[in-house]
Amino acid sequence: MDFRKIALEKDSHDDLKNFKSKFLNNLNEIYLDGNSLGKLPLKSIENLNEVINKQWGQNLIRSWNDTWLKMSEKINLKMSKLINSDNDEVLVGESTSVNLYKILYSLLKSNQFKKNLVTDNLNFPSDIYIIEGLKEYTEKNEITIIDYESNLSCDINILKKTIQENPGIYCLSLVTYKSSFLYPIKELNEFAERNKSIIVWDCSHAIGVIDIDVKASKTKAAIGCTYKFLNGGPGSPSFLYVSKDLLNHMQNPIKGWFGHSKPFNFENKYKPADNINKFNAGTPSVLSLIPVNTGLDIVLEAGIKNIRNKSIELGEYLIKIINNELYKFDVKIASPIESSSRGSHITIQHKEAWRICKLLVKGGQKRKKIIPDFRPENNIRLGFSPLYVSFIDLYETIQTIKDILENKEYLKIDESKSEVT
């Protein structure tokens, strides 16, 4: 099978191929880490220069009334469009961890669910840290972490059994960070509701690449970062979603200025807003929000369904070429094979994964730099953002890995693990 020919043909018929030109690209590099940090949109550079030089530099504080307050509202509306929520159910601001804390704490205090906090061993560690920090507010002063034995895939039957036997407040990553396992969100939301439970979804590895429809999936609460597939920039603020029927029972544990019903009345007594704005806290981070706005524009222009369709095609192509080219080198695919159970990265395993990663990133005179990332133990994550990753990128990546393994180039590389990948 001529995988190069297939890649070139698929790229020629790619409806999203022109979107790559919207990003800052290095022609000598293949970037497969958009599942960790997305690329820089060129429009973000232009928009940031406008804000810094004119809105901040010249207009100064007048820009709050002229532009910045309205901009926050516009970004919220764009995010609500992306996830198909009502306009007043979404906020963009503050970090994923802070927003997760707000929602979980508020649910524990709402008396709408049993005060059990449950997650699983596939969740991102920082989510587990937040959950651990809230255990004093639970019924038994403890949290539950479901152990599926595997740290790569969820056993849905075990998860459902746990929900039945231990109803309460669950927090799960819609797409898991290690293996890209994609949970059946609607099925689990409905099951949780039947068992007097709620699932708060961390959509960090899903937003911008998975078609998240909160209404169709009956999602009640979600959070997620904007710096991966939304290309909002390093540390860009996350989004928070709470459905209207749940919102009335919840209060923000952080009584901040912008969560007040009338922040510019400067009243000493705190009165929370009676809508989603109650989950605001501090002043909007204008410079961080600018690239998020650009990233949302690009994703909405491309269309989330188109993005998801290309992601599935890229994944299917990548699995085929891995199985064909790398099987004899003891490379294993650690991600779901079925596209319906997989996000937009594929994890491969090899005992020399760390040193292979270092060689890929290093590149060479006749070899492009290839940027994936490494996760313990022995996992290489190959992330493919459909907006700027092509089929030929994946072909060249697998051929490079094949060359490294055939020639045992990894033996020349130090095993020390001190770098961020």
Please, what are the domains in the chain? 3-31+303-412 (3.90.1150.10), 45-302 (3.40.640.10)
DSSP letter (8 states) at residue 41 = B
- Read off the pLDDT of each residue in 108-136 and give the average, rounded to a whole number: 97
Residue given tokens 């994609």 in the structure block: 182
pLDDT digits (tens, 9 = 90+) for 55-108: 999 999 999 999 999 999 999 999 999 999 999 999 999 999 999 999 999 999
Position 273: which residue type?
A: A
pLDDT digits (tens, 9 = 90+) for 267-288: 999 999 999 999 999 999 999 9
Count of Cβ atoms closer than 10 Å to residue 379 Cβ:
23
Q: What is the mean pLDDT of the chain?
A: 96
Q: Is residue 151 over pLDDT 80?
A: no
Counting residues of the chain whose pLDDT is more than 70, the rounded percentage is 99
Q: Is residue 420 over pLDDT 80?
A: no
Of 82, 83, 156, nearest to 120 by C-alpha is: 156
- When pLDDT is cut at 50, 70 and 90, the band that residue 150 belongs to is confident
In this prediction, residue 1 carries a pLDDT of 86
pLDDT digits (tens, 9 = 90+) for 157-178: 999 999 999 999 999 999 999 9
Q: In what order do the strands lie in the sheet with 117-120?
A: 90-92, 239-242, 221-224, 198-202, 169-173, 117-120, 143-146
DSSP letter (8 states) at residue 342 = B
- Read off the pLDDT of each residue in 308-325 and give the average, rounded to a whole number: 98
C-alpha–C-alpha distance, residues 90 and 279, integer Å: 10
pLDDT digits (tens, 9 = 90+) for 383-412: 999 999 999 999 999 999 999 999 999 998
Identify which has the larger pLDDT, 161 or 414. 161
- Read off the pLDDT of each residue in 1-26 and give the average, rounded to a whole number: 97
- Token pair, residue 248, equals 């009335």
Rounded to 5 degrees, φ, ψ at 301 are -65, -45
C-alpha–C-alpha distance, residues 118 and 199, integer Å: 9
C-alpha–C-alpha distance, residues 392 and 12, integer Å: 10
- Token pair, residue 165, equals 């036997």
Residue given tokens 């205090």 in the structure block: 109
In this prediction, residue 158 carries a pLDDT of 97
For residues 331 and 382, the answer to whether their CB atoms sit within 8 Å is no
In this prediction, residue 419 carries a pLDDT of 60
SS3 content of the chain, % helix, strand, coil (to 5): 45, 15, 40
- Read off the pLDDT of each residue in 348-359 and give the average, rounded to a whole number: 96
C-alpha–C-alpha distance, residues 333 and 327, integer Å: 9
Q: In three state form, how does the secondary structure of 261-317 look?
A: CCHHHCCCCCCECCCHHHHCCCCCCHHHHHHHHHHHHHHHHHCHHHHHHHHHHHHHH
- Read off the pLDDT of each residue in 241-259 and give the average, rounded to a whole number: 96
C-alpha–C-alpha distance, residues 125 and 120, integer Å: 10
